[in-house]
Chains A and B, each alone.
Chain A
């Protein structure tokens, strides 16, 4: 009976990083406890180590000069086999120079688009498992290399204006004109101070300079600051992780489709797919956020109104004053009555008790005084 769930060739492929995920998981699990396979793995690794004993010396540096000459100087002398190299040099240089001229003149306009396409094509090429992540990063880097660096920008403006209402409506106009939007907006109007507007605005990055210049005209600039954070590496890393996760998901789905094993294995693969899908969605959200941060400038604006205290010089009318006096008298009367009632309610019971207690001694004392 065969006790090994994987073949020897598969074990070798596992050590080479060439096995699909499901088989690799199986191989790793089996290798942990199978002495026979551990021995085979040690043998295979030993062979690789022994092969590495055969190191060769470095290449002759002169060939660099010949190749460079083929690129730029048709007259450069070859290192050896002069006639043949001369022919190579002339032919290659002629081809290279002519090719460069033709290619640069014809393809310059379409180069950028071509590079982007290349990035997509490269990412779909077959790559060794051990280099897949690095290749994804390279491909995306290559694609990004030909576009501008990704910078997430933020700016802050503090303005003071005489005409708050006009400035606010102008701010909304500017936002609309530049296809921006309000992230957050708060307006405060304290009684003894000027109104303030605190807003977080999102403006397309390609219109940021114009928009900021227009907003600065809305009042007196009290403070201004701008910051930029380069997120190219973050984006590239995110794209690479996303690409790898998608590949993993695809491979797991294929495994699930083709699998005819135990129910527990199927459930394990489904669980893995679910986990990977969650990671993909999380990374897609992060990517979207990052892209928005790059494509839109975050502008924090604080607009303050110049405060002018109000002074009322005109006296009140007689009728108004009489009305106010009548109201004051009425309030005073009501307040007095209420105060008496409250006093009686508060102290009445105590006064009655004391009156009852002191009544007879007082009457006795009064009568005695009258007799004398």
Chain B
């Protein structure tokens, strides 16, 4: 299998097939990245699309010093930050579908994640869902690897406590 980096270089050289292969590889992971961080499925679709369009626009700027995976999630993180800024400025009603989409099997996981400190939650999600290594997470968030490790540990231990079966408390939380 050709590596992502070689595909990116092929795309820089003008190969559309190379980009299509990259698109096929990262379409679902990037969508998952946005979908787990945004309430709106539509916005997750949009931002996935915009990530790839940004790659097309910035083709010439890509340097094979970093992994394509890190490069893509770096773009995705920037788009996500911009989206969150926009959401804060916009009508709060946009976030109303959060309750509806939370009524599924992952309810407890989502609630537990929401209780985490944002910086720890981001590290945990990048590690667990995006399967990034400690050093890749450190590169993306521009923090030391040891910080990634300690925050990840804290996040996991906290999450373990939040995920402990506490039916009465969770029921109360669901009502609110």
Contact = CB atoms under 8 A, between A and B. Distances in A.
Given A50-B163, A81-B46, A95-B56, A12 B149 contact: yes
Contacts of B65: 121, 125
Interface stretch (A65-73, A158-166, A323-331, A363-371): A65-73
B49 interface: yes
Given A57-B41, A99-B60, A122-B6, A47 B134 contact: no
B143 to A, nearest CB: 15
Given A54-B106, A142-B3, A142-B5, A92 B160 contact: no
Contacts of B136: 126, 128
A129 B67 CA distance: 15
B134 A118 contact: no
Nearest to A104: B14
Interface string B125-162: 00111011111100000000000011011001101100
A63 interface: yes
A219 to B, nearest CB: 48
Nearest to A100: B14
A51 B46 contact: no
Nearest to A67: B52
A196 interface: no
B27 A63 contact: yes
Interface in B53-73: 53, 56-57, 59-60, 64-67
A196 to B, nearest CB: 50
Interface string A94-119: 01100110011001100100110011
Interface stretch (B30-38, B74-82, B84-92): B30-38
B57 A115 contact: no
A87 B124 CA distance: 36
9 contacts: A13-B149, A56-B36, A62-B45, A67-B23, A72-B16, A79-B49, A95-B56, A103-B12, A103-B14
Interface of A: 8-9, 12-13, 16, 18, 43-44, 46-48, 50-60, 62-64, 66-68, 70-72, 79-81, 85, 88, 91-92, 95-96, 99-100, 103-104, 107-108, 111, 114-115, 118-119, 121-122, 125-129, 135, 137-139, 141-143, 145
Given A12-B152, A92-B57, A104-B14, 8 more contacts: A12-B149, A51-B124, A51-B159, A56-B36, A95-B59, A128-B133, A139-B3, A141-B1
Interface of B: 1-6, 9-10, 12-14, 16, 19-20, 23, 27-28, 30-32, 35-36, 41-42, 44-46, 48-50, 52-53, 56-57, 59-60, 64-67, 105-106, 108-110, 113, 124, 127-129, 131-136, 149-150, 152-153, 156-157, 159-160, 163
